[in-house]
Structure 1
């Protein structure tokens, strides 16, 4: 929120400098994000009036002006502005004046000079030259009664500062200049000047028929008819300036009045052209298919979740967000209907985002606006309409105030002892009472307690913690003592059999992967396609339509990163992510780390695309394949032994996908992207993927000391013929399952032979496997008999389990 300091000080003027005032607001929770001067520094520029303007004798586009600046003699100024004419008052830079610095950072000094042979004794200025705006269409025209010779900074009140506040959602009562002034008065003790709003004289009994059909949308709707207004009246310069310093441009007088009261008192309102309303108004939820052209020119389609104000023929306004073009005031408007309402915040929140725009009205109503001041604010609007757009025939109708569902203020009790404990400093009941009373709250004193019934503008005060926050804001966050913690701090010691997630990150980085961090909410399509999840966890209020569900797999996020990099011509992409996934789990209960009904495990996933290694003269540019990423998974899990088995996964190629198991427990999958999704993502080659349970990856074996055998091991090679269907895993299981009396220390498959055609020893569909056995004993040197017995035990196990035969 932005506003000028001078406007704030009209309501409350504490004896503080600008910087001190900003510090006071910030330390009370109203963060001052920026302090900006209204105008840059310049001097010796005064109000002047053009009393004569004649054509320059030597230039078609220049005029020689005689300018009265309140001195004994006129100044001759040569000017090329198209609007330089007799009778207007404009800023005049005298000789010796310094204009705002240019791009070089140096001020522009005005001197006596000659333009095409005519001496110029100053310069007439535009708003752009004074850096008051970007308007460069001509001279800045001032009010006709501007005092001649008055310093322009004084006349336009340019020695002012713009405050920009960054407010949290619970401080919606500060979304107005008066609301901020109310806080300043409470913080500093300076008197608060409450604006006097007289009741307008009622000259007619006309009322507009209004019906509130949705009390859960609108709790209060107030309005009045004002007839015979002058819509073409000019907005006074003081109002235009204040609106501009709040970041709002001037539109028309009636619209400006509505915006001015919104910034002044915090209530958005709307002024309808009465003659364009057909019958009465109905405040209701929209109906599917209804169309509305808004004031910003957009045409939107509403539904039953969006509130509207409609007449007998059509929808006229988006409730609490923006008015419609059909009933907008114009230069032909004669009679108006002034509306001020209380809209329930939950009925407004998020509605404007559905149409990809935001408004000041929606910003305020979705946070909460005072439900108790609609009538007073209509009186204030009426007062300004009469002063600015008044005509001799203007008359006002009575205010029609429909109160259908007002919020009920519930008392909130503050325990002083509890407040002292939460804030972390000793507090007395008198201190808490003083803080709450300075805020203008009615307080009932009890035994160690204070009970507050919040006023209508403090709709954020609902629980005890809200009152504790108000107390500490009034005391000042900078007054909190620096108290060291008293509780003993015990570091969480990680078990020796578990490594940290950072160690996993370092391991993957050493394998050539780069870490990515992605949102946990993803496209629903990813869940259906890549995770095979037909019922993902949906968000009630997603930040974007393409981020509407919680992910149950990390693979979609990695594919998005891949596509982003490929679109920018990256030749190789190797990325990984450690992140949380979200699964439905009826067994989960509410604890300090879990949520009932949902399981939120951590996983680690990786993706490899392109060549296996960067381009180098000593290495081939071989593309990464299944065995490369399988090797990465094995390296990541080492020293744990991973077991891979054929499997299926919704995101992976049905013939190039394997499950990963450790110690008999499945922990994830590794494989190539499914051809269907590769085609959908328009990928030139298939990326390789893996996704593992992080808890399993963190486990590691604690090293156990074993003495190194002093006896030499023995190696024996065997070659067996097996069916093609026999896997390496089955082969090793049979070998290690043999009863070798503990002599077998290792086995390695070092050769595979498949015949091109059947022969005497092998048939098609068979293969020959050569295995090297390592035998050793820690007790004695092996004898030939012990070695042969161990080899025969291995062969017997292979024959029994896999029906192998020894190759001749």
Structure 2
């Protein structure tokens, strides 16, 4: 699970620096696998203006440029077709290391003409896949400034290993919630927009409640798809996601940001109602990865009257996905059961970011809010008129409660945490805590201790919490797993007896 430091701070109000955040993540059980700051490898690349561009005397596809990177004019040989006088781009001077291949730039003669560095493409700087030409910046970009600083790339990317039981941390907000509970700041409130729908919602149905208990949807008509805004594209690119279009990027962004997978269909490709149903033997779907998959009766699919459009909860179909020309869309926000997702993914050998989240278990109580947030973003970024919401089926949102005595924390984990702190930790993580704390008094002149008796309500996004030992684990990891004492197990004196092993 990757995210940038600035992305994390949109959910976490904190003054903590990167080292403190990294240490806290590991202490609360979210192992940091790596940290990379793009700015560190781009320190020798500066904003430069092309002053002149002339044809190379010995090569038709090369040009001889003079560029100004803030230290006077330099001659550079360049093969980019878009290189021209007046262009402002990114220049790697002599001694700079090109990120994509580790090449050290040197002064060299190219077809007999001296070249003092390189004007760079996005791919060469590992900022994207574009290699058709050199980077083009705004004409107002400050010549001579370090590009990474000007472009705001000094933003560390944190990679955290999420264990299978922590589905709530498959979104940036869940990680921010854990850090806030650990005392590294406060969790910012999430704003759920009010969507004023016009006209009835789309015809969506559930005919496979075991695989898809709930299917919520809205349409937005009259959208204009295109490139997503810079702030969204920048965050996605930073974590290795390729921006595709505004409609697609919205779904990918919300999946990473809030842990809520969604899908957008081009309504022009749909024939009849959209139904979550079991697959039929021999049915095929061309998925967004360009591969064709054959489904069967054990799998949940999303289909209309004519064809299968989605391998439910894992990957959408290429035929009905949003295109540049899409004008009317249907936004799907559904709940797929983890067991069905796991079996389907294993049978098909198909992995995806959506599968990784549904397989762990997304928040079943976030369908309405997730659909509203997605609809609001579509309308704000693409325009259009939203419909009312259609809610087919019922998400599994039955409340789960656990009886808990805070003294069990010391008994099980060996960590003595005050009742008030335990209550604060659990409530900060979204648990509801009711009941009496431990008390000490006298009856008939004799001392009487009354143990605490709490009833803890488990939040809908914590599918993994089933009993009081899970609550102990929550308290202990937020206090810090490094606080658990190393205690040797008791053993009988003398030489240990042989143990038979299979």
TM-score (norm. length: structure 2): 0.87
Q: Is the 8 A contact 1:413 1:452 kept in 2?
A: yes
Q: Does 1:262 align with 2:262?
A: no
**What's 1:642 paired with?**
none
Alignment counterpart, residue 454 of structure 1, candidates 458, 461, 465:
458
Q: Is the 8 A contact 2:313 2:354 kept in 1?
A: yes
Aligned-partner Cα distance in 1 for 2:173–2:302: 29
Q: Is the 8 A contact 1:45 1:97 kept in 2?
A: no
Q: Does 1:26 align with 2:26?
A: yes
Listed as ranges, the matches of 1:297-446 within 5 Å are: 297-390=290-383, 394-446=384-436
**What's 2:158 paired with?**
163
Deviations 1:51-76 (A, max 9, x none): 6533234542332445566x698766
**What's 1:181 paired with?**
176
Q: Is the 8 A contact 1:281 1:311 kept in 2?
A: yes
Q: Is the 8 A contact 2:227 2:244 kept in 1?
A: no
Higher relative contact order (CA 8 A, sep 6+): 2
Tell me the secondary structure at the aligned position of residue 158 of structure 1.
coil
Aligned-partner Cα distance in 2 for 1:81–1:28: 49
Q: Could you tell me how far 1:149 is from its partner in structure 2? A: 4.3
Distance 1:464 1:276, change over 3 A: same
Alignment counterpart, residue 236 of structure 2, candidates 223, 228, 243:
243
Tell me the secondary structure at the aligned position of residue 235 of structure 1.
coil
Q: Is the 8 A contact 2:27 2:478 kept in 1?
A: no
Q: Could you tell me how far 1:276 is from its partner in structure 2? A: 1.3
Deviations 1:100-143 (A, max 9, x none): 5897x89546x6x8767877676422234435467644313345
More deviation in 314-323 or 126-135? 126-135
Deviations 1:276-303 (A, max 9, x none): 1111112222223322222222222222
RMSD: 3.0
More deviation in 137-146 or 23-32? 137-146
Alignment counterpart, residue 476 of structure 1, candidates 465, 477, 480:
480
Tell me the secondary structure at the aligned position of residue 196 of structure 1.
coil
Aligned-partner Cα distance in 1 for 2:99–2:462: 45
Q: Does 1:275 align with 2:268?
A: yes
Aligned-partner Cα distance in 2 for 1:143–1:347: 49
**What's 1:225 paired with?**
219
TM-score (norm. length: structure 1): 0.56
Deviations 1:459-515 (A, max 9, x none): 2222111111101111111112334445646755349xxxx77xxxxxxxxxxxxxx
Aligned-partner Cα distance in 1 for 2:129–2:327: 34
Listed as ranges, the matches of 1:169-208 within 5 Å are: 169-202=164-197, 204-208=198-202
Q: Could you tell me how far 1:344 is from its partner in structure 2? A: 1.9
Listed as ranges, the matches of 1:396-795 within 5 Å are: 396-446=386-436, 447-485=451-489, 488=492, 492-494=496-498, 602=502
Aligned-partner Cα distance in 2 for 1:489–1:409: 49
Tell me the secondary structure at the aligned position of residue 360 of structure 2.
coil
Q: Could you tell me how far 1:309 is from its partner in structure 2? A: 1.3
Q: Does 1:61 align with 2:61?
A: yes
Aligned-partner Cα distance in 2 for 1:101–1:319: 39
Aligned-partner Cα distance in 2 for 1:334–1:87: 37
Q: Is the 8 A contact 1:433 1:450 kept in 2?
A: no
Q: Could you tell me how far 1:354 is from its partner in structure 2? A: 0.6
Q: Could you tell me how far 1:404 is from its partner in structure 2? A: 1.8
Q: Could you tell me how far 1:223 is from its partner in structure 2? A: 1.1
Q: Does 1:90 align with 2:89?
A: yes
Distance 1:288 1:416, change over 3 A: same
Distance 1:234 1:444, change over 3 A: same
Aligned-partner Cα distance in 1 for 2:288–2:339: 23
More deviation in 167-176 or 298-307? 298-307
Aligned-partner Cα distance in 2 for 1:144–1:403: 54
Q: Could you tell me how far 1:458 is from its partner in structure 2? A: 1.9
Distance 1:174 1:122, change over 3 A: same
Aligned-partner Cα distance in 2 for 1:482–1:64: 68
Distance 1:53 1:380, change over 3 A: farther
Distance 1:37 1:83, change over 3 A: same
Q: Could you tell me how far 1:145 is from its partner in structure 2? A: 6.2
Aligned-partner Cα distance in 1 for 2:44–2:461: 46
**Structure (1 or 2) with the larger CA radius of gyration:** 1
More deviation in 190-199 or 411-420? 190-199
Alignment counterpart, residue 294 of structure 1, candidates 255, 271, 287:
287
Number of residue pairs the alignment of both structures matches: 488
**What's 1:212 paired with?**
206
Q: Please, which runs of 5 or more residues in structure 2 have no aligned partner?
A: 437-450
Q: Could you tell me how far 1:264 is from its partner in structure 2? A: 0.9
Deviations 1:702-725 (A, max 9, x none): xxxxxxxxxxxxxxxxxxxxxxxx
Tell me the secondary structure at the aligned position of residue 157 of structure 2.
strand
